[in-house]
Structure formats: structure tokens, C-alpha cells
Structure 1
Amino acid sequence: MLKAVLFDDEHIVLEGLQTIIDWSSFGIQVVGTAGDGPSALERFQKEKPDLVLTDISMPGMDGLQLIQAILGQAPETYCIVFSGYNEFAYVKRAIQIGVSDYLEKPLEVENIEEALRKAIVQIGKRVEVRTHKQNYEESRKVLLEKASLDLLQGNKDALHKWNELLGPQADILSGVTVLACSEELPIGDRPDCDVVRIRHGEEYLAVMLHRLPPSQALWEELDQEAEKRGVTVGAGHTCLDLGQIPESYREALRALRCGRYLHQKGLVGFEDLGELITSPKDLSEREEAIILSLRAGNYTGLIEQIEPFIEWIKTELVDPEVVEREMVKLLYVALEAAKESVSPNKKDLFAPHVEIRAIHERDKMLAWFRKQFEQIVQSALELREDTKYSTVEQAQFYIESHASHHLSLQDVARHVGISPSYLSVLFKEVTGETYIKYMTRFRIELAKKLLASGRKVSEVSEKVGYHTYRHFSEVFKKYTGLSPGQFKEKCGHPNDSV
């Protein structure tokens, strides 16, 4: 049943409209009345009716102003106005603001009923169009999700379908980034991008369609939201060439797996993982796990990685050449991963591929392998413990000396000579907070000091590395509860940001 409201400043008119019209025969229920403009608007907002019948002349807010406010909030509302003013100017104004019908007073039952019949037909058509539109959007959403998943999985034929479903939006894309998470992704549509969400098995995926090139602010916000929720989000690189979307997807999955292995919460970019992991195409899961365990300082995890390998050698009839090749490969992977973090105290002329050829018995070969592996690991972990504080101190000094610059994790890692993922682990281990949290906190504390000394807000924003006032203001208020200008006023200085 449709809902209707009646508005008129004459009580007798409202009573008459409710009694002389058989509303139920039209499938309409009168759910409210009012005698002035403000009360009428309040009643409309409460009842959210399909149909509004209102007089033009009412105190507080006339009927045309009321209709304008109603249609501003609910454009599909069917509005009928009536008035004793038989003037063209009122009719013209009513049409301009979107009134559906206009009746003259005194109101005749036949005219009202005819207007109601027209209203029912038009409301029915609007509902039909709205339902069709909703069905189309839901169908389009499902088809877009399917086409996106096909595209992620490397189906080249899906690109044409995907572009077709995006329509004009495909022509204004500034890039596409794929995110992966083991839980619902902490991301919604934003002014600078749309998001296609996909559930694929245990994976929650998000294809970010950037209208503008993604900013550092976007990644910081995603990182903070993911960390707040205690989840790991893997991110592939941003593709300018849509043909690279499957690669971004594979990178996102790999970044997610590595981030979870390292117990990193927040956003983990594939490019942050380090060259040893991101470069080789044929790195096995065992080899990757060795690298990640070394970076995380996880001695138990490292030993766990080689135990299944040793058991495989013991229980299976494996060709000796295969055994030699796999042992040497794992030792070199461990050695290179250790070097990427800190230079292990292993003799420079270490040549396992030469030493292993002098060993012919399986048990001796396994004992040699375990000993070499444990020496590399122990050496790396000891040096890691000795150098981690000085490494983080170097990183902190570099951050504090370049506060006005845009500093990514990669920039700082490059300066101190280790991989971004390893620096991320060390930072959390030594300082108790992530790189981004440390960077943000340092910048805001520096900004507070500068504002307290009377510096201009725009100058402070630049000094602490925020090159747009809006982003600086949002972050500052989130951490302090005050805008930069309000904080400055609290410190006894005039607010120059207004």
C-alpha cells in the first residue's frame, strides 16, 4: 500500500480530505498531516511517504519551498500542490521545482480522485524503472565481479568484457591496483577510486580502479585501517597497462602470504618485500619461507623449514645428484637472505657446491648440510641482534633529518642498506610500532612544536612532509583531536588557517 501525507493550514481542509476520499480503494494510506511548513517537513522526514499533497500557502514555509526541500531529499516523491491562487506564476514555479500535479481550490472530489489515479500510474512506472535499474546494477555488479576474477586469473578474453561493463569509467582510469586479504577488506569506495570486491575461496580481493594516480595518503590510510582491524593486506603494483592486472594479482597474493608469515599487520606492498623474494620467478615455498624466517629472526621457523627436507632425503630413494643440487640451492638461498639483512660471519670462500662433492655417504651429507645451515643461521641471528638497534637508529636519524621530504619505507631501507621488509620487521621489534606509525607520530609531534612556536600552518605542513593542507589537517586532528589552527590558538597564537 502507498503512503500519503496531507499538508494544509486549514484544519477543515485536512479533515475533509481524509473523510471525503476513499483512500483505501486507491491502495493508499494517509500516514500524517500538518498545518505549517516546518511541521510538514518534519512529518515527511519521519514517514517517508510516496505521495505528498500540500497547499501552497502555509505559515513558516510555503508549499513550494516545502516541495523543493522534499524533492532535494527524496527526488522520486510524487508531489501534488493545490491553491486558491489562480496565477500562472505559481504554476510555472511549481513545474520548475518538479511538482507532479497542480489542483485549484476549492477542491473537487472528482479532480482529486483523477489526480490520485494519475499519481498511482506514475508512481508505478517510477517503481518499475527503479526496480529495473536496481536489477541491472545488481546484475552488472555480479558480471563485473566475474569478469574481474577472470581477468585476474589471466583470461585475456575477459579484458574486453571488463571494459564493456565499466563503460565510460574505463576511459578515465589512472591505474589499477589489486589487494588481497584473508578477511573482508577494510576499504570502501573513495572520491579518487572505485572498488570491485571479490570473494574467491578463502581470499577477499579488491580491484581498485583509480580515477587519479594513487597518493601516499591513500596507502597510509589503508595501512592504518588494516592495522587497526588487525589484518594483513597484500598489495600488488599499480598497473597502468591493464594487461598487467594478473601480475598485480599474483603479487598481492604473494605479499599477503609473506606479510602473514612475518606477522605484519597493515598494508604489505609486494615492492616492499625485497629483491631476493620479488625477483626470482622459480623460488619454491620452502626457499621463500627460509628467507622470511631469516628476516623475522625466527630460528625455530628456520630449522622447521629444513626438517621436512631432511626427512624426505632419509625416506625416499632420491637421486644423489638431486640431493646435492637441492642442498646447495637451499644453502645459497639462506646465505643470500642473511646477506640481505646483515653480512653473516661466514668465510667469503664458502663454496658448498665444491665441498659437497667430497661427501659420498647420505648420512654424512645430511650431517654436513645441517651443520652448514645452522652456522649460517646462527651467524646471521647473532649479527642481527648486534646490529638491529644501530640499524633502526640510523633509520630514525634519517627520517628525522628529512622530515619535510616524502619518505617511503623503500627510501629509508635503501639508505640503511637492508630490504624494506626486513627494516619493517626491525622497526616494529625495536620501537614497538610500525614504520608508518613512527613516521606519522614523529611528524605530528614536530608539527605541534612548530605550531606552538607561532609558525604558519601552511609552513608547518610543508616542514613535516605534508604537501596538502587537507591531508595534514586530517592526520593532525586524528592524533590530537584539534585542527592545526585550533591547536595553534590553544597555544596563544592567532589561527592563520581560516
Structure 2
Amino acid sequence: MIKVLIVDDEPKLREGLRTLIPWEEEGYTVVATAANGFEALEKFHTFAPGLVVADIRMPGMDGLELITELRKQNANCHVLILSGYADFEYAKRAISCHIDGYLLKPVDEEELISYLQELRVTIEREEQFSKLQTEAEVSHHEAWLRGLLQPGSEDITVPEAASRLGLQGESEVILLQLMRPLKGEDGREERVRSLLERYLPPERAIFFSLPPFLGFLLKEPLKDEAARTALWQELNRLIAKEGLDFYAASGGAAAEPEQAAASYTAARELLEQAFFGRREILVDGAVEQWAEAVEEPGELTDSERDEEMELLLAVETGSTEVLSPLVRQIICKLVETRHEEAYIKDNLIRIVSSTIARLEAVNPDVRTLISENASPASEVYNSYYLSDILSMVADYLEHIAKQLNTGGRGDEIKRITDLIQRRYNENLKLGMLAQIFNYNSAYLGKMFKNQIGEHFNTYLDKVRIEKAKQFLTQGMKVYEVAERVGYMNADYFNAKFRKYVGVSPSAFRKEQ
């Protein structure tokens, strides 16, 4: 629809023109009316109409003065003049202002409609031409940008591209990657682009699109961290209007146009690693390093550690304070094995699922807890930052741990003996439990001996042997019983059984 502004000092005539003419049938829509030239100028700048229908004589600023002012401002609009005076001088003055028609009052409806029909054809041609011209300018503009940011991609030199773009001195490339617009809603990216172009006018930045990235070349680099934070916050405000998440990175300042390509490359490489960084920042340097390190590594070597087992025991005993560090250590190992988003997400979900399954195997109450607390799998797969995933998984496991231990955690030795009764077949180690309960293993061992009357390993062996006797009584084979109670070596199991029972497992089974 072509927008129309009606200007006349007579209210009845304004209303009559607005309601009696079938504007929409002819492809027009009346967006505003005005009583004089001054009011018309204000509304023109607000609504940007394609057609102004104005009375030639009005108090204050008349129609001819209005048209003259619009032409001075290079306003791109068409004008129809209305007059109650069949005066040749008025007609001459109006024609000199490049009007599109001159109608006498009272307005003949058919004559006005005829003008509207002719003007619609003219305006549509102009709009089509303007669109083609804009597309051509955009095409050239993008070619110059590619020549600047990706030297060799276009038949244009970097100095020529910089000259065409009006680029001198320092600059800085900012790259954005919008995260997976929903199917059927791809128009959101165009709306984001429109918002960003309004926020960063041409005198401040050159906007570009190099799929899968949007970006802009700042004509003045960001001065400091405060400027980077402010830019990120504004980007977030604009993009959030379309409900999208995004990565943003700066390639750093380029001292001269020839270095803009290096700034672009640096920003692109940072975006490729943004998953490993932090949200709510404009990435402008090395992303967070997920090196496997803890402030106090404890007494177990890397080869002795079994973080997945520690994770299970920490949840089961309600040791929530160590869960986040354990999840982080697991993530560090995954990153070290394969620096790949999908691999890390898949294995984290596997570890969480395995932990829950092993909890269920010895505690029927876990099934109810799980049904009341949805798995974080969906959130993990839909997350764009590894730091967020760490928080999601740790929070979920901490919640399960608290629910499992609602009666209070009690003293550590009681928790350890209860754990042994449930996990006798696991590879339990005093050092591992010391890690979980934040004790020195020697000190924890003394505590255990003083309270239970036996060393940790002795107590564990005795529990295993008692369980083994039950299984042997049921007729199970010796090697099956050995594995069932946590001894992977059958000969070692035989030796332990003889030590505590006085006969071999086979002899014991025959006696039953």
C-alpha cells in the first residue's frame, strides 16, 4: 500500500477525502491528516508517505511553501495540489514545485481516482527501480567487503576495497553467529540484521553477511573492556527481541585496512571455539581452558582415579560439595580426549545416565526421585556453552544427592560402612573415599579403625566374603562368585576366602 498524507485547514474536507475516496481499492492507505504545513512537515517525517494531497492555501505555511520545503529536504514523495482558485499564477507556481497534479475544489472524485491510478503505476516503477538499484549497491558493497576481509575471493585488491568502502586507519571486525533459528522462522535473522544496522549507522560501522556469520567492521576499534561489555549488552538486548541466542567475537583492532582480514580470521577462529568459553562476553581472546587440574589434587594419581566411580559415591553419600569439582574433572578429561562439542555432550549424558542406573540398582527409592526430576539431557544438548553444561549437570546431581540423604548425612564412618554394604562388589578404595569426604586417607583410616575395630580393607574383605558364602550356598560357581563380590582374580578370591573361612570356596560349597 502507498501511504498518503492529507493536508487541509478545513476539517470537513480532510475527513471527506479520507472517507469518501476508496483509497485501499486503488492501492493506497491514508496514514495521517494535517491542518497546515507545519503540522504536515512533522507528520511527513513520522510516516514518510509516498503521496501528499495538500490544499494550496492554508494559514501559517500554505501548500506551496510546504512543497518548497519538502523539495529542499530532498523528500522523495509525489504531490497533488487542491485549490479553490482557478488562478493561473498559482498553477504556474505549483508546477514549478514539480507537482503531479492540480485539482480544483470541490474535488471531482473520478478525476482524483484517475490521478491515483496513474500515480500508482509511476510509484510502483520507481519502487522497483529503487529496489534493483539498492540490490546492485549491496552486491557491490558485499564484493568490496569480501575483497577486504577475504583477499583473493574477489577480483579486487585490498587497497581498492578499502577505498571503495571509505575505510581509513584503524578498524575492528565483530562477528556474530545466531544459534539455530527455528524452522520456518528464518526471517528472524533478517529482522536481527535490520535492528543491528539501525543500531550501528554507516558512519560508525560497515555491516556485512558472510554465512554462517553476520558481522560489522567498526571504523573505530573498541577502546577497552568496558566498551566491549557495553557492546555485548546492546547486542544481547537487540537479538533477544527475536528470541535468539548468539555467539559474538572480536578479532581485535586492525591498525590499517590491510590488517582487517586478520581481524576477521581471528574473530572467526574464536567463534569456532565459543562453546568452550563463557556466555555474556564479547570473546576477544583465548577461550577458557578446560585443563585437567585441581587446586589440591589429593593422594590419588591420574591412573588411580576413577572420577565416574567417585561421582556415583558422592551422589550416594550426599557429598554435594565435591560434585561440581568432580563433574569439571570429568569434563576436562573428555575435552582432553576429544575437543569436540557433540562428543562431550554425548559422554556426559552417558555418565549421568549410568550414575542414575547404578543408584537405582541398590536403592529402589531412586526411581521415584528420577521420575520427579527430569534428566538434564535435553538442556545439555540444547546448550551453547560448556560452562552452562557443567552447572546443569552438577545442579541435577546435587539435587538427587540431597533428596537421597534427606535424613541428614550422619557421621562419615557410618556412611562408609553403609556404602560398603551396598557397594561391596565395586572397586572401593580408602583414598577415593578420602577424596569424597575431604580427609587425608591415613587420618580417615585411623578414624575407621578406631570406630569399627578393623582396618578399612579388612572390613571390606569380610563383607565380601560373607556375601560370597551366601552366593556359594545358592550353588553359584566359584569364578562367578568372585566377580559378583568384587574380586576380578579368582585365585586372589580363593586366597582371601581361605584366610577368613579356613577352607576353599569349592570345599565350602560342597559342605552346604
The TM-score range, normalised by the shorter chain, is 0.3 to 0.5
TM-score, with normalisation over the residues of structure 1? Answer: 0.41
TM-score, with normalisation over the residues of structure 2? Answer: 0.40
